[in-house]
Structure formats: structure tokens, C-alpha cells
Amino acid sequence: VQLVESGGGLVQAGGSLRLSCAASGFAFDDYVVGWFRQAPGKGIEGVSYINFSDDDTYYADSVKGRFTISSDNAKNTVYLQMNSLKPEDTAVYYCAAQWGGLITMGTMVASEFKSWGQGTQVTVSS
């Protein structure tokens, strides 16, 4: 399992970015693929996931209505469209995947995701 993120960068507040997570070594069926982020000096935070076994999606309250997770199964790629970006969205964003379901519902627990990408930096200037 390999995950490679791209699409990060510097954007002004109110702007948009689309992150991509290109997956290889597995098919999305029966996997949960999600995005986490870690801001400087802070812990890791679950942002969003998609569960390909039932098409369920999750969004953290902090990004609801602004971020959208989607996928292109033909390209084995998961996207995170981020709109109305705020300075507090500044972080390193990581793609993560886990085979089978998640144990904890209603939130994202980093330790439940066994495969991780290297991360991509998102910086939102005020």
C-alpha cells in the first residue's frame, strides 16, 4: 500500500485548493481512505474520510460545508476539495488508509489507519 499526496501550497484566506491522494498497491473496495492534518505545535486532527464499503463520508465540524472528499476509482485517487480556506487550516495534510471498517464511529482516530502518505503542506495566509 502506497499513498502519495499532492496539491498543497500557499493560498490566501478565502481561496481554494484541491489535494490529491494517489493510491497504489490496493483497490479502494473495503477500504476507508481519509485525510488528517497537523498544524505546527498541535496534535493530529482527523479531517474527512470516505468508506468505500458503504460510501459513508465523515467531516470534522471545523471543515463541514467547506471541504468535500471525493474519489476517482479509475485513477485510484482520493481528493479533498478545500474551499473558503482559513488561516487555521494551515497544516501538513496526510492521506491515510485502512482496510475494513473503523472501530470508532463519529470521529477519526489516527491509530486506526495503518497506511499513511508523506504529507503535503497547506499554508493559508491572512
Angle at 119 between CA 27 and CA 75, to 5 degrees: 30
Q: What is the pLDDT of residues 83-110, one digit of tens each?
A: 999 999 999 999 999 998 888 888 899 9
What's the mean pLDDT in 9-32? 95
**Amino acid 30: pLDDT:** 87
**Amino acid 63: pLDDT:** 98
Q: What is the pLDDT of residues 57-87, one digit of tens each?
A: 999 999 999 999 999 999 999 999 999 999 9
**Amino acid 67: pLDDT:** 98
Which triple of cell numbers denotes residue 74? 479509475
Rounded distance, CA 97 to CA 25, Å? 12
